[in-house]
Structure 1
Amino acid sequence: MSYSKLNQKWLVAKPCAHILQIEAGVPRRAQPNAVLERLYQSKMCPDTRQLEGLSKQLDWDVRKIQRWFRIRRNQDRPSMQQKFCESMWRFTFYLVTFLYSISHLWVSLSPEQYNHYVAELAFYWSLMFSQFIDIKRKDFIIMLVHHLATIILITFSYANNMLRAGTLVMCVHDASDIFLEAAKLANYAKYQRLCDGLFVVFSISFFFTRLVIFPFWIVYSVLFESWEIAGPYQAWWLFNGLLLVLQTLHIIWFYLITRIAIKAIFKGKVSKDDRSDIESSSDEENHSNFNKSTLKPKDFNHSSGLNGETHDH
């Protein structure tokens, strides 16, 4: 999986980025400072007390220290070209696995279904582990829950011979994510109208696959029809519980997607993701105000925001 990702990224995605004139860019580098760098390695966003202590220790203004940390964080963030390559890799994966799974959906216990399961399982394991080494985002916990639930569902559906249900679950997820990654690619390439159109298609497909097909066909069949056929057993409770967890996440995400769509209608384009990779000076000011108060962050944004890195579902 990692080898094929590397090949696709460097042999296909990067040349495409060059054709579309998406450059890697050179981020502004923070002024070398051993004291600040040592703290940055343990805490990327120091609180008010630490900022005041650093100000006295270095004889720097607090705003200058905040600016140093902002530049240092941006220095570690992926470039637009890197994000384009990652989105192209995910777009390719979702498209290929969706078409592959559809073509072998009606055959049970086939080698092709085993290959599909292995590919999806490896993909979600890679997503889960990459969360811990990538830039930590506001929706870290909810994405971690999603990846864990998906990994357990894939494993248990195969172990309990529920391949048809497991394949359908993966299909309805991959179907809408194809359009999400395509919209991200259009956004990185600065094709705004195409981006907006693909986001609309993504929103519609998300609604029908995850709020109609998933609950009323798949979950209903596994929850009620399987009860009548085989009755409840230990794995049945776990499997259905995880399906309901995913459905809860779908509802939360669709609410966030709707917010973005409403902003797009009134502002004329898809709004920027709250989890955007690059911080501005206004972000710094907001972070400073947040540290001085005891308010919690307002809300996270799902990966449907197009400037964020992400992931997946």
Structure 2
Amino acid sequence: MAYFYKKFVDTFWSEYIWLPPNVTWADIAPDASKEVQHADHRHLFYPLPMSLFLLLLRYVLEKYWFAPVGISLGIKNSRPKKAPENATLEQAYAQSKKWKHKQIQGLAKQVDMSERQVERWLRLRKSQNKPSTLTKFCENSWRCLYYTFSFAYGLTILWHKPWLWDIMECWNGFPHQSVTNDIWWYYMISMAFYWSLCISQFFDVKRKDFWQMFIHHIATIVLMCLSWVVNVFRIGTLVLVVHDCADILLEAAKMAKYSGYQRICDVIFAIFTIVWITTRIGIFPFWIIKNTSYDAPKVVPMFPAYYIFNSLLVLLLVLHIFWTYLILKIAYNSLNAGQMEGDIRSSSDDYSEDSNSKSQ
């Protein structure tokens, strides 16, 4: 058994797959050179316990800071009214959350209720699991705080890095590039945050694009781990800083909406839309992906892992295009309604239903 495990590990971590031609694992080991401090793959385990710390920090901030602020802004923490207990209807609800008219007719006869009463029970049952506005405000406040910190920290440390101003510097001396302490912390904290999102997503406000978001988080983590292992972290830092700036505005717009400041929400949303399209549909594909797909192969020997790395970047772009469609759809509806309707990108069920009912 040990033989097969070793065989599998050796095959999986083949230098032919993961490293450029004529480069070995020993060449990029942490202690391989006194002049270059290579990335240490063993450090990829650090974000896991760090993610638990972030979850604890989030809990403390939401309870003792975000919630009191939300209440002071007039946000209510009331829960929806619960549906009356009914074993027959509850069993039918467990099997399907959407009932056709024939099902409602049949259930009405079974429980000796009118069709209107059954429909009311279904609406109450759907709404009772939805989080309060204060809960959603706290969640967005945490994300807004993190993205603000991440973007500010990332931009600060990258300001004096040559590859921010000349992206071809990402490949100068590759793969023998040193990981400085500021880059190390930037990567570790970012990976810890995305690990925490993978965990908290199962307990947070339920989103209609749950699996798209989950794929996004996993793709981001895999992308960061891969770029760390093969020393492509310079491109990784650019991807992070380009992504974080729009997310600040996204969460801020939601916070303003939940707080009842609709005009502020509309202004932030308009700025967010411009920044999102500029960074996710403009800078990301035409600066970063263009470099990794077209420019880098001219100066760097290609290897299999590089194509995996680039494919994940393209996967992120596909998700961006999907979310851009949703954002533009909301923007169009907002212009017709005179205000932002629904939630943005990761819309919750209650907001989506509310938006649909207003458009009908």
Q: TM-score, normalised by structure 2?
A: 0.71
In the aligned structure 1, how far is the partner of 2:155 from the partner of 2:235?
Answer: 13
Deviation at 1:220, TM superposition (A): 1.4
Q: Point out the structure with max Rg over C-alpha.
A: 2
2:279 equivalent to 1:209: yes
Write out aligned runs for 1:211-290 (5 A).
211-273=281-343, 275-277=348-350
In the aligned structure 2, how far is the partner of 1:113 from the partner of 1:66?
Answer: 55
Write out aligned runs for 1:11-22 (5 A).
11-22=64-75
2:150 equivalent to 1:97: yes
Deviation at 1:240, TM superposition (A): 0.7
Deviation at 1:50, TM superposition (A): 5.0
Deviation at 1:177, TM superposition (A): 0.6
Deviation at 1:48, TM superposition (A): 5.7
Q: Give the SS at the match of 1:76.
A: coil
2:242 equivalent to 1:189: no
Asked whether the 8 Å contact 1:78–1:277 carries over to 2, the reply is no
Q: Give the SS at the match of 2:350.
A: coil
For 2:126, the equivalent position in structure 1 comes to 73
For 1:110, the equivalent position in structure 2 comes to 180
For 1:61, the equivalent position in structure 2 comes to 114
For 1:309, the equivalent position in structure 2 comes to none
What does the per-residue CA deviation read over 1:29-48, in whole Å, with 9 as the maximum and x for residues that have no partner? 11012333344445433556
Q: Give the SS at the match of 1:150.
A: helix
RMSD, matched Cα: 2.4
For 1:179, the equivalent position in structure 2 comes to 249
* Structure 2 unmatched ranges of 5 or more: 1-53, 163-177
For 2:97, the equivalent position in structure 1 comes to 44
In the aligned structure 1, how far is the partner of 2:62 from the partner of 2:140?
Answer: 10
What does the per-residue CA deviation read over 1:54-86, in whole Å, with 9 as the maximum and x for residues that have no partner? 334322334422321221121111100111100
Q: TM-score, normalised by structure 1?
A: 0.81
For 1:147, the equivalent position in structure 2 comes to 217
Q: Give the SS at the match of 1:104.
A: helix
In the aligned structure 2, how far is the partner of 1:61 from the partner of 1:176?
Answer: 49
For 1:86, the equivalent position in structure 2 comes to 139
The residue identity in structure 2 corresponding to 1:151 is I
Count of aligned positions = 283
In the aligned structure 1, how far is the partner of 2:101 from the partner of 2:209?
Answer: 24
